[in-house]
């Protein structure tokens, strides 16, 4: 019972805030332009500030873990390659192939990752190191996948590749992490006034991000592509964690590191998938269905995975 309560306490509050965001949208308290602005504000301001503050105020030399970052990178790369190869040989609807691949591997690592770890441990924990190992690869791989599978194109879209690389270098979350690491490694202490100001901004990150996710939820889209959406949901929420969590445990990763890995592997498909698919000449229907379905189902699967890990005294 203790393990179940721990799991429910970790997941239910997160998803209830998302439900609140959805309810506010349905009651017309917030509208689409507000949700769009809110998501941009979270992406550019609150999440980067939260990650910067948590890293800047930590001991860089005790927090940095090269093995952990490399694990996150190579597991993500392996997942992408395997899904691409298998889907390329078996998926019949070639027009949707790129959307299928991207939605199957790309997690909501930054938003939900930070939310879950902060809900459990009170800080962003190992989320920044996990983000370093995954998010840049997510973006580069998405450009390659969507370019190669674009029905109207031949080969890689060089413009999209350059745009993606530029986007990585100017990504506010990556910049926040990099600056935080610089401050921590240099052992620069933030003045009390600056620390309290940043704290007042950073506490907004998780609730506002979850409200934005919930308000942007569109349930009707999930029924448009039931079979491929079900396969994506199974891969994203069950298969990848089942394959790579045991490997993480065998390498000695537990507690915050293991929770961050769980989020990397088994959190919902990120909304960024839909934006990128639409911007690269793909229909986007399958992607939006996958985002909706995995977000809804992850409330169950993440609770299950946390329960299992807690039962084995790994978190």
For the full predicted model, state whether its pTM sits above 0.85. no
- Give the C-alpha separation, 139 to 136, whole Å: 5
Q: How many domains does the chain have?
A: 1
Is pLDDT at 193 greater than 80 in this prediction?
A: yes
The 10s digit of each residue's pLDDT in 127-163 is 777 877 887 788 778 877 877 776 665 555 567 667 6
What's the confidence (pLDDT) of residue 234?
92
pLDDT at 245: 92
**pLDDT tens column, 102-115:** 889 888 776 676 77
CATH number of residue 208's parent domain: 1.20.1530.20
Q: Which domain holds residue 180?
A: 2-311
Q: What is the pLDDT of residues 215-249, one digit of tens each?
A: 776 666 556 678 888 999 999 999 999 999 999 99
Asked if pLDDT for residue 23 goes beyond 80, the answer is yes
């Amino acid at each position: 019972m203790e393990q179940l309560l721990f799991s429910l306490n970790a997941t239910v509050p997160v998803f209830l805030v998302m439900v609140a965001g959805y309810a506010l949208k349905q009651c017309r308290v917030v509208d689409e332009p507000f949700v769009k602005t809110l998501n941009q504000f979270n992406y550019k301001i609150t999440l980067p500030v939260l990650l910067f503050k948590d890293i800047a105020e930590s001991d860089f030399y005790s927090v940095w873990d090269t093995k952990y970052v490399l694990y996150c990178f190579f597991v993500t790369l392996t997942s992408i390659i395997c899904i691409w190869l298998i889907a390329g040989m078996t998926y019949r609807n070639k027009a949707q192939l790129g959307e299928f691949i991207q939605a199957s591997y790309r997690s909501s690592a930054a938003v939900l990752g930070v939310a879950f770890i902060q809900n459990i441990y009170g800080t962003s924990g190992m989320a920044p190191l996990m983000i370093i190992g995954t998010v840049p690869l997510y973006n580069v791989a998405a450009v390659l996948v969507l370019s190669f599978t674009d029905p109207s194109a031949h080969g890689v879209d060089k413009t999209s590749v350059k745009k993606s690389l530029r986007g990585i270098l100017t990504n506010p979350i990556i910049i926040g992490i990099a600056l935080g690491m610089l401050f921590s490694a240099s052992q620069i202490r933030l003045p009390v006034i600056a620390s309290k100001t940043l704290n007042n901004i950073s506490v907004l990150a998780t609730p506002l991000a979850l409200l934005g996710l919930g308000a942007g939820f569109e349930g009707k889209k999930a029924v448009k592509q039931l079979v491929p959406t079900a396969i994506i949901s199974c891969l994203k929420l069950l298969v990848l964690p089942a394959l790579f969590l045991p490997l993480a445990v065998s390498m000695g990763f537990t507690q915050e590191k293991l929770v961050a890995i769980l989020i990397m592997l088994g959190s919902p498909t990120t909304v960024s998938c839909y934006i990128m698919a639409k911007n690269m000449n793909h229909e986007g229907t399958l992607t939006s269905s996958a985002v909706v379905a995995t977000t809804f189902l992850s409330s169950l699967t993440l609770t299950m995975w946390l329960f299992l890990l807690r039962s084995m005294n790994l978190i």
